């Protein structure tokens, strides 16, 4: 069965520091991978997605993620965090033969210190 693990429930970084949010997935074939962001009181917004090709994908708001098949990981990174990046981040995996069904991780809450 597909599953997604986000090991860090809560991370705090200083503004201007770099960020890496971890995501590990379990899936038997090539996964379709996503990162979503949820600001307080808002719905989820897609940051980026990976299906095939270049394992380093660029997203909105200066985020990028790298797919590493050997580690079953899809970590999200940003070189310099802004206070407005404080939010909850969700990693998700989908299967090509299950329509639009996504399995989400538990989420990582990001706090940004001034």
Partner 1 sequence: DAGVIQSPRHEVTEMGQEVTLRCKPISGHDYLFWYRQTMMRGLELLIYFNNNVPIDDSGMPEDRFSAKMPNASFSTLKIQPSEPRDSAVYFCASSLGDRIYNEQFFGPGTRLTVL
Question: C-alpha 104: how far from its chain's center?
Answer: 10
Minimum CB distance to partner 1 smaller for 32 or for 66: 32
Q: What's the token pair of residue 40?
A: 């307080």
Handedness of CA 50, 53, 54, 58 (dihedral sign): negative
Q: Which stretch binds partner 1 (CB under 8 A): 17-25, 41-49, 63-71, 76-84?
A: 41-49
- 32 contributes a contact to partner 1 by CB under 8 A: yes
- 51 contributes a contact to partner 1 by CB under 8 A: yes
From 1, 23, 3, select the one nearest 103 (Cα to Cα): 3
Minimum CB distance to partner 1 smaller for 4 or for 112: 4
Give the integer Cα–Cα distance in Å for 82 and 50.
24
Minimum CB distance to partner 1 smaller for 106 or for 111: 106
Query: Are 89 and 106 a contacting pair, CB within 8 Å?
Result: no
Among 21, 23, 44, 110, binds partner 1 (CB under 8 A): 44
Give the integer Cα–Cα distance in Å for 11 and 28.
30
Site for partner 1 in 58-77 (CB under 8 A): none
Among 40, 43, 53, 114, binds partner 1 (CB under 8 A): 43
Among 63, 74, 94, 112, binds partner 1 (CB under 8 A): 94
């Amino acid at each position: 069965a597909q599953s997604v693990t986000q090991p860090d429930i809560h991370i705090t970084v200083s503004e201007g520091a770099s960020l890496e949010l971890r995501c590990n997935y379990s899936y038997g074939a090539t996964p379709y991978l996503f990162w979503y962001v949820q600001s307080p009181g808002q719905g989820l917004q897609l940051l980026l997605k990976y299906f095939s090709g270049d394992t380093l994908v660029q997203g909105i708001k200066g985020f990028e993620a790298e797919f590493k098949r050997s580690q079953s990981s899809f970590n999200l990174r940003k070189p310099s965090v802004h206070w407005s990046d404080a939010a909850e981040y969700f990693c998700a995996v989908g299967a090509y033969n299950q329509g639009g069904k996504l399995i989400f991780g538990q989420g990582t809450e990001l706090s940004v210190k001034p």
